[in-house]
Structures are given as structure tokens and as C-alpha cells.
Structure 1
């Protein structure tokens, strides 16, 4: 079993909609990439905080542009931004939360490889084996010998009436063949105060 050490390849897409005519005012998609065997708890309420949990921290970190400098974004971040903007610009009064979640899951699980990427290579290194190419897609998945990749998609949506939906699809049972991983989906609806 091979370990892949990296500073993290998490991505977040955030849209704040100021147009009062829009049905939604906040939409967030977050992908969390890490070592697949790291112990975690599923998304749930812990007191008045809704989150998943790993050792001594919570999951949802906000990386607006990805884990690179704003002036030199990863190619997958630029690619993902176009996909996200397309979803956001096509929202209308009839678009349901379920439809938005489906479209954002399509983005979060997109496996288009934006390789080569000099910025990913610079930040993560390359020993000549081009292993970093697996970090060059929104949905990170290495060959089974490397136990690192995207293990959750978190989506947070708030409508104009402060009705919030927090959806998460997470990999919790991780077999040797990651393609056969068990994914758990959880959805919470609540009113912002």
C-alpha cells in the first residue's frame, strides 16, 4: 500500500447571490480530499454545529480558489469554476434544491483530468512518475495502491427565506478497490436564525 503525501487538494465553489429576485442566496459545494483510511464520523448535529468530524477537527474548510495562489490557480479550479458558473447562471425560480444538489454532485464527481498542470506539479512534486496527474481532476482518485482521494462532497444551500439545506455524500466504507466504496448520503433541512 502506497501513501501519497500532499498538503491537500480540497476545492470549494461558493456563490453568493445578491439579486433579491433570485430564489437562492447562498450555494456552496466542497470536495474534501485526504487519506482514505482516516477515521471519520458522518455528517450530523453535534450540539448546535452541523458537521462531519475527524480527529480533533471539523471538515468543511473554505478554500475559495483551491489550494493554490489566486494568481496561479490549478487548471481543475478554472475548469470547475466554469462548470459552477454554468449551474448558477441557469438557476431560475423553478429550480429545486434537489436539482441543484444533483448538478453540483456532477461537478464534485467530475473526473476530467486537467493534466499537465505546472502549478499542481510545483506544489505537490513529481518524481518522474507523473503520479501528480491524479490530483489534476476535481474528483481525485488514485489507483488502489495509493490510499488518497476525494472522500466527500458537501453542499450547503440557503434560499431567500433563510431555509437551509446541508447535503453530504461521503465515502465511509473503503474497500481495497475504491470503485466499490460505500457512499453514505445525508441531508439536513433547517431554518437559519
Structure 2
């Protein structure tokens, strides 16, 4: 994920609501959201290069959400893949707290990241720069490529629209309601751009919620819902690249989107 908004016990009918975009190079092989055949009980998209993921959930309603933290001064020469963190968590029966205890020993082996994990006890945020685990209180949060709730223009704009949507739709939430937010291509004015070490032109292109930067951009829209009855919906619109050469800018005609909706009943925790 590169941007996400999370409503945690902030809606009368849905204890958990997530709307998020994944941004990635178009050349990176990716599988759309599905139930994982090699890890039964887990659903989500898949990075086929390292078999990791940016978002996935299990039958218990546990989930993991990952974003990169854009600080190139902290990049390592041979880092481990950040995408393996979520499969490692969901494939084990341990709690989020127990997983973080183990992760603290190895967190410095990865390039900077944010990790949200949810289990039956709560929702937690961790980043490997501060190495702090924070138990999140009920509320609405935003996360992009900086610390939690860093007020980047696109994060703040999307959070305002996300919050407005939740208050306007008090009975039923459908994934389609979130698409106008996730497809917002408005860029920020230069004076409001964050300084993350990128060239100004690229910083501009990355300042929109929906990113389109030639060989890099938004590849998936994800909406994840759990209602008060334990009904889980994982909805994804994923970009399929119709080209064998993605070293050049991908044209609009080469971009095809596929929708996937997975629904299941949250299993009771043992």
C-alpha cells in the first residue's frame, strides 16, 4: 500500500473500514486478490517476485497492511523484502503483540516501513524507524509513505472525504462508494509538497492519491469491510498491464482493470 484510510470502531455498522491504494512499478509481477492456495485461510493480493503482499486478511478477521516509508537515506544495500511481513504474521496463530515482539529483533534488516496489524485484541501500528508499537484507539486514521497521520495534502484531502462518506452512509457501505476517493488524481501545489529526496517533477506526480507516473503508478484499489455481524468483504480493483514491455510509459490503452470481491464470515477466535 502507498496510501490508506482506516476507520476503527468509528462507524455504527462497520467496526472496521479500510480504503487503500497500492502504488508499484508496472513491471513488478503481481497477482490480484484471491484466496491463497498455499496458505489456506488467507486472502489478498500477491507480489509474485517475493511472494509477499501489501494487504491480506485471514478468516479470523486479522489483517496486515504495509506501506513503505519514503526516506532514502535509510535504505540498505541488501534489505529483506518488506512484503513477507504480513504472510509471516497471518500464517501463525500468535497475536499481533507477540509478532511485534519477534519483529523488533529483525526490523532493522528492512528498508523503512509502516505496518498495521489487527487481531482480536486490537489494531496496532509499528514503524521500523522509531521502532514503536502503538495500540490505536477507536477513530479514523490515514497512512501513506511517512509516519501515521503525517499531514501530506493527499492524505488529508482523502481523509476528509473518507470521513464525510462514513458519516453520510450510516446504514450500508458498498465498496464502490470509495472509488472516487481512491481514483482522485489531483496533485498538490509545489509549496505543499513534502520533501522526501525525490526530484520535484516526481514529487508532484506522487502527490496525488491516484498515481500515474509512466512506468510506476497505482496498481490496486482495495476496500476492506467487517460489519457488526462479522461479515467480511475484501474488494479489489487491480490493474492488468497489457504489454510485454513496461520499460516505457504505459499508455491508457494498455491499462485494464479487473474487479474482485471476496466475501466470507469471520470465524470465531479460539
Give the alignment's TM-score, normalised by structure 2.
0.59
8 Å CA contact 2:18–2:224 kept in 1: the answer is: yes
Tell me what 1:6 maps to: none
Residues 5-51 of structure 1 deviation map (CA, whole Å, 9 limit, x = unaligned):
xxxx70011001256xx222211011000101100112111111101
Distance 1:76 1:135 in 2: 9
How many pairs were matched up? 173
One of 217, 223, 227 as aligned partner of 1:149 = 217
Structure 2 spans left out of the alignment, 5+ residues: 56-64, 68-141, 244-248
Q: Secondary structure at the match of 2:5?
A: strand
* TM-score, scaled to structure 1: 0.81
Closer, same or farther: CA 71–88 of 1 in aligned 2, 3 Å: closer
Other structure's SS at 2:177 match: helix
User: Which of residues 9, 15, 35 is equivalent to 1:25?
Assistant: 15
Q: C-alpha separation between the residues in 2 aligned to 1:23 and 1:72?
A: 28
- Counterpart pick for 1:43 among 26, 33, 52: 33
Matching residue of 2:8: 16
- Equivalent residue number for residue 196 of structure 2: 123
Contact conserved, 2:235 with 2:262, CA < 8 A, in 1?
yes
Question: Considering only aligned residues, what root-mean-square deviation do their CA atoms show, in Å?
Answer: 2.1
Distance 1:92 1:119, change over 3 A: same
> Within 5 A, what are the aligned runs for 1:165-184?
165-175=233-243, 177-180=250-253, 181-184=255-258
Describe the SS at the equivalent of 2:143: coil
CA distance in 1, matches of 2:234, 2:4: 14
CA contact (8 A) 2:15 2:227 kept: yes
Partner residue in 2 for 1:4: none
> Which stretches in structure 1 are left out of the alignment for 5+ residues?
1-8
Answer yes or no: is 1:58 the counterpart of 2:53: yes
